[in-house]
Chain A
């Protein structure tokens, strides 16, 4: 079985990496990452607007934003992919390529989820920050722009990264509308080989795991760093904190004796 896996990778590594590019559309893990980056990258500014709208005292803004968030949270991503892929061409009168449809879907979907992260980040800041900004004479928007958002967004970096990890996994659904990404490449390989589905999908799962696990580790590391910074320690003192963690209970026992 291991030898089969080796052969699958050896024969198809380029397809898994970049799909049929440059002879065909970009695919494989490159397309998966591109989809995820575009999805999160475009959703991010949108999510800030949605979060601000949702926190706004004006119902004209807060209701549609709330509705968007609730719909996106309550409907499976697959349904939204179908809507965009089949409904959008009817509305605009042209065919929408799978890749574009998938990016649009991800942007709307992730914007809703990210906006909840942004909202939580804003609301988690001490109330005194807004009070201080208002007392100095800042308008609501100026306070958001210069005081609240810079802090909130910085604190949210780990959450945004973990949303990025979810997005990578969600791009697999692009398979149903023939978006040439990593899962699509794997299923092409499977269709060729026909007899080794376990091995093929094991390779597929391993690649996703490697990418997502790495990003999750990065997230954890960032989280620790940000927590330490928030607690008011510089980078140099971080080392000291790590040093403290090295002291094990045995050591403490020794010192006591």
Chain B
């Protein structure tokens, strides 16, 4: 579903992504982890072209994301890729409900009544039906992130990308967001998650990609990765995590 072929990205002279070759299959949940600055966020942002790449090919659902295309084509492609940000990025001038309804109405041309029903259904699903009329500033971080997930789901994307969805949250709110992500995974959603939540990775991921210095240095099942990592950098990363917890 998401396929990287020899993807390279430079910021000036600095190589942010190097020879990325990997694939997220349909229905698969991939967790991308690694030390900070290893290129995880850059990698996930190339999938919907929030970041450009300099060489290689990136296929999403059979389409070459970084091919030359018109703005309209790119917008349509992006509308098929759900994206959840670390900093939620809800639209603060709109209520939770309007945040979810806006894009289906303005981009897909869904009529208001349908968009409203769908948005209420999604809010219910993330456990926030009672907060429909609340503005983002009136919601906790965990609630905002759940609305953000609902907003992305409203476009009915075949795959969802999560860029450190719980890193900006207080510890007691991490669980509620992970629960929503877990239920998505259980329903067979194709997911690519950059996260430091190793418990989530162990439990939900089909595979773990470990990145270091712009490269994917290890791809393994969670059991293998957490039980017996091969790459020395991955070993050190995991032992650092253990001593911290």
Residues of A that sit less than 8 Å from B by CB: 126, 128-129, 131-132, 134-140, 142, 146-147, 150-151, 154, 229-234
Identify 12 residue pairs between A and B in the complex whose beta-carbon atoms are under 8 Å apart, listed by A's number: A128-B85, A129-B91, A131-B85, A132-B89, A135-B81, A135-B152, A137-B75, A137-B79, A139-B75, A140-B71, A147-B91, A232-B138
Interface residue? B72 (CB, 8 A): yes
> For the complex, would chain A's binding face be called helix, strand, loop or mixed by DSSP majority?
helix
Cα-based distance from A150 to B135 in the complex (angstroms): 15
Please judge, given known A-B contacts A128-B89, A129-B91, A154-B93, whether A136 and B79 are in contact too, CB under 8 Å. yes
- Other CB < 8 Å A-B pairs besides A126-B87, A142-B106, A230-B92, 10 of them? A131-B85, A135-B50, A136-B155, A137-B79, A137-B155, A138-B107, A139-B75, A150-B93, A151-B93, A231-B137
Interface residue? B40 (CB, 8 A): no
- B157 CB to nearest A CB, Å: 10
Residues on the B chain within 8 Å of A137, using CB:
75-80, 103, 107, 155
Cα-based distance from A147 to B106 in the complex (angstroms): 11
Residues on the B chain within 8 Å of A131, using CB:
50, 85, 89
Residue of B nearest to A139 (CB): B75
Residues on the A chain within 8 Å of B85, using CB:
128, 131-132, 135
Interface residue? B195 (CB, 8 A): no
Interface residue? B83 (CB, 8 A): yes
Interface residue? B190 (CB, 8 A): no
Residue of B nearest to A128 (CB): B89
Q: How many A-B residue pairs have CB under 8 A?
A: 69
Cα-based distance from A132 to B81 in the complex (angstroms): 12
Which among A136, A139, A229, A230 is the interface contact of B151 at CB below 8 angstroms? A136
Residues on the A chain within 8 Å of B76, using CB:
137
Contact yes or no, B71 A139, CB < 8 A: yes
Residue among B76, B77, B93, B138 with most chain A CB within 10 A: B93
Residue of A nearest to B104 (CB): A136
- B18 CB to nearest A CB, Å: 24
Interface residue? B143 (CB, 8 A): no
Cα-based distance from A132 to B151 in the complex (angstroms): 10
Cα-based distance from A138 to B155 in the complex (angstroms): 12
Q: Which of B98-125 contact A (CB under 8 A)?
A: 102-103, 106-107
Residues on the A chain within 8 Å of B89, using CB:
126, 128-129, 131-132
Interface residue? B166 (CB, 8 A): no
- B172 CB to nearest A CB, Å: 19
Cα-based distance from A142 to B85 in the complex (angstroms): 20
Cα-based distance from A45 to B64 in the complex (angstroms): 39
Contact yes or no, A134 B137, CB < 8 A: no
Interface residue? B145 (CB, 8 A): no
